[in-house]
Amino acid sequence: ALSLLLTALVLAYYAWTYGSLRGFAAAIDGQPTIFIDFITHYYSAGVWIYAFNLPASGYCYSAFFALCLGILNRFGVWTVVYFWEALQIATTVLLFLVPAVHFVRQRRPGYYLCLLATLLSLPVLHNFMWGQISTLLAVCTLAALCFYTQGRKVGAAALLALATSIKFYPGLFIIYFLLKREFKLVGMFAAWTLVFLVVVPAVRLGPDGPANLLTFHRASRSMVQQVKHNALVDPNSQYLPHVLKRLFHIEEEQSMGPLYLPAYAFSLANLVLLFAIIRARVQHDAEIGFALLLLSTPFLVETSWPHYFVYLPFCQVVIYQLLRRSQATPALLLQYGLLGLSILLASSVLFNCIGDFHKFGSYGLPFWSNAILLLLLYLQMLPRIQAGLQPRQP
């Protein structure tokens, strides 16, 4: 009952703030309507692959996902839009329910933190406004984590392969299983990914399926450079070098070389930390490891748009639970304050107070929310790793 009341209050706040879906779209990113990415890229991708065996303009993802989207095109465009709206709502609900039910249901403060952080998350609103699939990918990834912690490794491999077969970058999470030496799960992941990315499209694209599939991905890859260029100049991009480019007012692309070094350095440091967490057998290393890899996204993925950060509520809850298990000190109070700052920076409340989506994106507030969580994760993990790696007394 309290969950429903909080949800109703937040939705009423949004209704009062934005007034209508058109007002919502204009406020979030100055657009005339919602679901522009869905109509422009995803719906069109489903049309093009069945008509020409080619990706639509601006579509940079897999043929498998385009074929799935094409199934929707058997219905009218408005029916498809309503279906997509239902999918957005369902995946948003699951984005809260999956971690809440599996990780924090017995700890009410963490449960309500997860609920409010999800409801007030600007990246979640961004995902809905554009009709994007970041919530779907996050749900698949977190569900794979839940399956793994329950010992259901076949399901975990299949879900992670499904997410990877849509937008590729969720494949980064296989690094955790490689470091854990879960080679059987890695093999199942590879098999599922092969089925989704190669076998299904090759069969569905007709007698010349393999050749058509290769042509499709060559055409899709040719669009990647244009997308990367758009990300370079778009104030919404939260990829670290792009955020630094805006902060330091660097105009020339040729001058950006040094800005990539911090991204590479932090990515490498995060992998070393992940290895150390696993080696030290830190408690709850699966949730912590996945949170660490999620927080590595804006250092690795050049198209880190605000909606990519829908994972922040899960990571915030992981950090909160680490803080709860820590010894009470003045430094711990400071860390709680930093966690609150992270939640605020990525929230729709601060976004609405700023009232300018260009400033919100250009200053990289979702990135800085992510960076604060990464800092907190290091502060919490380093002492635990040190304790875990100390030789045991005979």
User: 344-356, pLDDT tens digit by residue?
Assistant: 999 999 999 999 9
Q: Six-digit token pair at 68?
A: 């799935």
pLDDT over threshold 90, residue 332: yes
Mean per-residue pLDDT, 14-41: 92
- Of the candidate ranges 159-168, 209-218, 220-229, 244-253, the one whose mean pLDDT is the lowest: 220-229
pLDDT of residue 58: 82
Helix (H, G, I), strand (E, B) or coil at 121: strand
Alpha helices of 234-329 — where are they, by DSSP H? Answer: 240-247, 260-279, 285-295, 297-300, 312-324
Mean pLDDT lowest among 120-134, 316-330, 372-386: 316-330
| pTM score | 0.94
Q: Which residue has the higher pLDDT, 102 or 171?
A: 171
Is the pLDDT score of 276 beyond 90? yes
pLDDT-based confidence at residue 93 (cuts at 50, 70, 90): very high
34 pLDDT exceeds 70? yes
Question: What average pLDDT is seen over the chain?
Answer: 91
Per-residue confidence (pLDDT) for residue 220, from 0 to 100: 84
CB atoms within 10 A of CB 358: 12
Which residues, 6 or more positions from 349, have their beta carbon under 8 angstroms from its beta carbon? 120
Buried b (16+ CB within 10 A) or exposed e, 159-191: bbbbbbbbbbbbebbbbbbebbebeebbebbee
Instruction: Tell me how far apart the alpha carbons of residues 101 and 333 are, in angstroms, rounded to a whole number.
Output: 27
Ramachandran bin of 389, using left for φ above 0, alpha for ψ from -120 to 50, beta for the remaining angles = alpha
Is the pLDDT assigned to residue 106 strictly greater than 70? Answer: no
Residue with tokens 């990877």: 164
Question: What are the φ/ψ torsions at residue 132 (nearest 5 degrees)?
Answer: -90, 180
Q: Give the list of residues 6+ apart from residue 44 with CB closer than 8 angstroms, or none.
A: 56, 57, 59
Considering Cα of 113, then 116, then 122, then 127, what sign does the dihedral take? positive
Matching residue, tokens 């990706």 = 55
pLDDT (mean) for 323-345? 92
pLDDT band at 330 (very low <50, low <70, confident <90, very high): confident
At position 345, the amino acid (one-letter code) is: L
**∠ Cα 162 111 307 (to 5°):** 45
| Tokens at 351, concatenated | 């976004």
